[in-house]
Amino acid sequence: MPPSDSTAIGPSLDVPPGEARAPAQEKANATVAASDAEGCWLRVQEALRARIVPEQFETWFLQARLLVADGPEGAQDVSLAVLNSYTCDWISKYYGPAVESAVRSVLGKGCRVRITVDPEATVPPAHAAPEPAKTDRGAAPGAPIGAPNGQATGLAPGAGLLWNSDVVLNHKYTFENFVVGPCNRFAHAAAVGSGERPGMNYNPFFLHGRVGVGKTHLLQALCFSILERDPSARILYLSCETFVNHFISALQNGDLDEFRTKYRNVDVLVVDDIHILANKERTQEEFFHTFNTLYQAGKQLVLSSDSPPKDIPTLQERLVSRFKWGMVTEVEPPCYETRMAIVKRKSRDQGRELPDAVAQLIAEQIDQNVRELEGAVTRLLGFSSLTGKPLTLELAREALGDLLQVNQGTPTMDDIISAVTGKFGVKLSELQSKRRTKSITHPRQVAMFLARRITRHSLEEIGGFFGGRDHSTVIYAVDRVAKAVRSDPEVREQVESLLGRLGAPSDGPL
């Protein structure tokens, strides 16, 4: 199926292809007031939920957003903005009629509907609520709001995060739904411990790991467990980006006092993806004071990051040391057995058992990211129920072709980095640093050489992976290693063994 940027359902629109990716500002001018579009989308979502099974709805539509162009009522041009061309094709192919009828039932029969790829317009995952919002975000500051589907977690209705949290808890992100294995056992136990005695056991609780390994899941499970014990706990849950944005607007509007009151009057402050503080000096300064105030008052701080405190670039030393005061723990990518358990669990949750061979195929091929693992199961089950075909290996290959290929034998940047850091005994942070000692520059240059040879990343992208170096530095590195391979047997051996370890073809001249 060729990827497409925009697919018309029903009568086609006369929209030039580039328009689907128009910047947000232009888009706002071309659409009805944001609040109206938001209201329409909520009603269309409701209509869609009535037509589609819940798991499929959550997989394909939670991050979408409806854009309604100006036009005579009942005959507007409507586009459903989605994240990528795969989603666009999938929705068009399998849910086109459902989308069309849902939109028309809300906006009128004359509407023309199109599905467009427009990542900027979509809703980031943390904001994509799994159930229609039942909360009142206009409630008085400090008043707790209801978490969606609170009953599912045993919480009293009305319990939940503080109103100014920027996410609603996902009712599936509980400890019960978290599959524990060697890779995450320690992090899981620490999260359970923090939830039992907030502010006492591990403070701060700092969780780090790659993307998609379950950090946000554990953070939210921790919030649920605190709220189950004490529904009146005042938990503020934020992505770090929100903290940064609030701080900047408080600075601009001279509202710093209000900002501080908001952030410093909580029992638990949870900040997801704290590594975003990198290179933001003033926000780091402010966060330092927020941290101190809460810590001294015995309040719990919970932080997640893509790397340990010392590896967050430019993070002030005093923050690094504070982040290490409590419990710092890593969530590692799941091992094969854990992946199998996750695959089985996710399919069972969706009401189907996967045959062992199919579960094995998925668990073997998707080995780094639980989100992808979960997505593969949902996609396969959806594919099977839509086509009526049984869950065989053949069907899995058909439904998951692109996911499996990506993971098949094509080493990624992460693979290269872990092979190089392992071989030379250096750290990723050193490869990304400005250090120019030979013990660091040589592995860095070898990593760039391998990236150029094996991956499809551009010179700029490769430079970006290694601490934001420009393309001429990458060209120089690639050139230097290529020459050394020819003139220095030791370097040749290093490169050949790395290529072997990465399973990359070593044929062709080096």
Q: How near is the Cβ of 415 to Mg ion at its closest, in Å? A: 22
Nearer to ligand ADP, 184 or 284 (CB): 184
How many residues sit close enough to ligand ADP to count as binding (CB under 6 A)? 17
Determine the Cα–Cα distance for residues 59 and 28; give it in Å rounded to an integer.
Answer: 26
Nearer to ligand ADP, 217 or 280 (CB): 217
- Binding partner of residue 179 among ligand ADP, Mg ion, none, CB under 5 to 8 Å per kind? ligand ADP
What does 22-77 look like in DSSP terms, one character per residue?
A: --HHHHHHHBS-HHHHHHHHHHHHHHHHTTS-HHHHHHHHTT-EEEEBS-STT--E
For tokens 């419990």, name the residue. 327
- Residues with Cβ within 8 Å of residue 330, at least 6 apart in sequence: 187, 207, 208, 209, 308
Determine the Cα–Cα distance for residues 121 and 22; give it in Å rounded to an integer.
Answer: 10
Q: Does 275 interact with ligand ADP (rule: CB under 6 A)?
A: no
Instruction: Rule CB under 6 A: choose which of 113, 342, 417, 451 binds ligand ADP.
Output: 342
- Residues with Cβ within 8 Å of residue 225, at least 6 apart in sequence: 175, 192, 195, 196
- Residues with Cβ within 8 Å of residue 351, at least 6 apart in sequence: none
Residues 181-220 that bind Mg ion (CB under 5 A): 215-216
Q: What does R_g of the chain's alpha carbons equal in angstroms? A: 25
Nearer to ligand ADP, 100 or 273 (CB): 273
Q: Taking a C-beta distance cutoff of 8 angstroms, is the pair 219, 304 a contact?
A: yes
For tokens 């709805």, name the residue. 57
Nearer to ligand ADP, 171 or 442 (CB): 171
For tokens 């872990």, name the residue. 418
Q: How near is the Cβ of 415 to ligand ADP at its closest, in Å? A: 19
Q: Which stretch binds ligand ADP (CB under 6 A): 20-28, 150-158, 170-178, 224-232?
A: 170-178
Q: Taking a C-beta distance cutoff of 8 angstroms, is the pair 82, 89 a contact?
A: no
Nearer to ligand ADP, 326 or 334 (CB): 334
Q: How near is the Cβ of 338 to ligand ADP at its closest, in Å? A: 7
Instruction: Rule CB under 6 A: choose which of 311, 374, 415, 430 binds ligand ADP.
Output: 374
Nearer to Mg ion, 116 or 216 (CB): 216
Nearer to ligand ADP, 71 or 130 (CB): 130
Q: Does 371 interact with ligand ADP (rule: CB under 6 A)?
A: yes
Using Cβ positions, the residue closest to ligand ADP within the complex turns out to be 214
Q: Does 152 interact with ligand ADP (rule: CB under 6 A)?
A: no
Nearer to Mg ion, 104 or 215 (CB): 215
- Binding partner of residue 342 among Mg ion, ligand ADP, none, CB under 5 to 8 Å per kind? ligand ADP
Nearer to Mg ion, 7 or 216 (CB): 216
Q: How near is the Cβ of 107 to ligand ADP at its closest, in Å? A: 32
Q: How near is the Cβ of 42 to ligand ADP at its closest, in Å? A: 23
Task: From 266, 287, 292, select the one nearest 276 (Cα to Cα).
Answer: 287
Find the angle CA(28)-CA(33)-CA(34) to the nearest 5 degrees: 70
Residue 204: cis peptide before it, omega within 30 degrees of 0:
yes
Determine the Cα–Cα distance for residues 491 and 494; give it in Å rounded to an integer.
Answer: 5
Q: Does 48 interact with ligand ADP (rule: CB under 6 A)?
A: no
Q: Does 170 interact with Mg ion (rule: CB under 5 A)?
A: no
Q: Does 370 interact with ligand ADP (rule: CB under 6 A)?
A: yes
Q: Which stretch binds ligand ADP (CB under 6 A): 9-17, 370-378, 468-476, 482-490?
A: 370-378
Q: Does 307 interact with Mg ion (rule: CB under 5 A)?
A: no
Structure tokens at 466: 């290694």
For tokens 């089950």, name the residue. 381
Nearer to Mg ion, 215 or 379 (CB): 215
Residues 173, 179, 184, 188: what is their CA dihedral angle, to the nearest 10 degrees?
50
Q: Which stretch binds ligand ADP (CB under 6 A): 1-9, 59-67, 177-185, 252-260?
A: 177-185
Q: Taking a C-beta distance cutoff of 8 angstroms, is the pair 478, 510 a contact?
A: no
Q: Does 333 interact with ligand ADP (rule: CB under 6 A)?
A: no
Find the angle CA(275)-CA(465)-CA(244) to the nearest 5 degrees: 25
Nearer to ligand ADP, 147 or 504 (CB): 147
- Binding partner of residue 233 among ligand ADP, Mg ion, none, CB under 5 to 8 Å per kind? none
Determine the Cα–Cα distance for residues 348 and 326; give it in Å rounded to an integer.
Answer: 37
Determine the Cα–Cα distance for residues 86 and 249; give it in Å rounded to an integer.
Answer: 36
- Binding partner of residue 365 among Mg ion, ligand ADP, none, CB under 5 to 8 Å per kind? none
Structure tokens at 79: 């586009």
Determine the Cα–Cα distance for residues 8 and 88; give it in Å rounded to an integer.
Answer: 10
Give the three-state DSSP class for 112. strand
For tokens 């430019």, name the residue. 314
Residues 199-258 that bind ligand ADP (CB under 6 A): 209, 211-217
For tokens 């050193």, name the residue. 430
- Binding partner of residue 217 among ligand ADP, Mg ion, none, CB under 5 to 8 Å per kind? ligand ADP
Q: How near is the Cβ of 372 to Mg ion at its closest, in Å? A: 14
Residues that bind ligand ADP (CB under 6 A): 173, 177-179, 184, 209, 211-217, 342, 370-371, 374
Residues that bind Mg ion (CB under 5 A): 215-216
